[in-house]
Amino acid sequence: MHKITVRAGSNIAFIKYWGVADPAINLPLTSSVSMTLQEAHTTTTVAWQPASDLPADAVTVDGAPLTGDALARIERHLDRIRSLAGVSHRAQVTSRNNFPMASGIASSASGFAALTVAACRALELDLDATRLSALARLGSGSASRSLFGGFVLWERGVDDATSVARPLFPPDHWDLVDIVAVVSSAPKHVSSEGGHRLAASSPLNDARIAHAGKLLPDVIAAIRNRSLPELGPLIEMDALAMHAVMMTSTPNLIYWQPGTLEVIHAVQRWRKDDGLAAYFTIDAGPNVHVLCDGRDAGTVRHSLEALPGVSRTIASGPGPAPFELTDHLF
């Protein structure tokens, strides 16, 4: 058995994943498109030991041992991998994020992508990227997309085998930059896993699903054309539609904070008054992702950091697929 360390990038979705058709396998209601991030990532070391030496899985994230529901979620995923390998070993897992966890920057995507790849390689399971994408999806739906670099399509599919991600364009296809305006680093009050189950209770959900399907080919075409004026309005529309579903679910989910609105209004103002080509999108949380061309990244980042409600920014271009590191976390 080997000790393996893997780094995987988070991703920002342009067409969002929200709501599940089958929660048992995280089968989504829509296909989605994302960009894997270079500078927002999770690093995870996994080593397997016989149960006689390690009686239970031991998982540490950002320096704190996991317990309760968080640990149980990881254990369920490790059980899937144990079953594939036909072993009863227990895992020692140490994971570290370089960005705030559970705050709307897709830490579960990078986390489960890194865990899946590291745990499988440590057991010498020979799975290709498509199979790993399906396996990572069982831990966190958006993790399926972080199995690939650059710009990625997660096809909704109809079952476990067909609901997988595939690469659309490599990281060097477009010098697009995502600048995350961090307005809160605190964990959100309802996890994405819990929120997905509420989507169907919103009267707006069916309309949002239908509209996302219509937007999808236009979003892919805009990425192909490297056209931010084409892409920007589409991603803003889908982000607002997703949050409208959240806000009208039962119970409702309002992740936004005053800083969220401050950033949205500022981006709209800069575009109208200053001609600055920047567009926002928001995952399940209060923090705002602002997309711009690389040539404008310095200006956009400086302007965001000047806003009172923004504590810091994280700027990232398109990143690679998960890769191994030689330096381990334990």
Of the pLDDT bands very low, low, confident and very high (cuts 50, 70, 90), residue 192 is confident
Q: What is the pLDDT of residues 247-294, one digit of tens each?
A: 999 999 999 999 999 999 999 999 999 999 999 999 999 999 999 999
Q: Which CATH class is domain 173-316?
A: alpha beta
Q: What is the pLDDT of residues 238-251, one digit of tens each?
A: 999 999 999 999 99
- Nearest CA to 78 out of 41, 109, 47, 36 is that of 47
The answer to whether the predicted template modeling score (pTM) of the entire model surpasses 0.85 is yes
Q: Where are the domains of the chain?
A: 3-170, 173-316
Q: Which residues pair with 280 in a beta bridge?
A: 290
As a whole number of angstroms, the distance between CA 10 and CA 140 comes to 12
**Range 3-170 classified under CATH 3.30.230.10:** yes
- Nearest CA to 270 out of 179, 185, 174 is that of 179
Amino acid at 319: G
Position 103 pLDDT exceeds 70: no
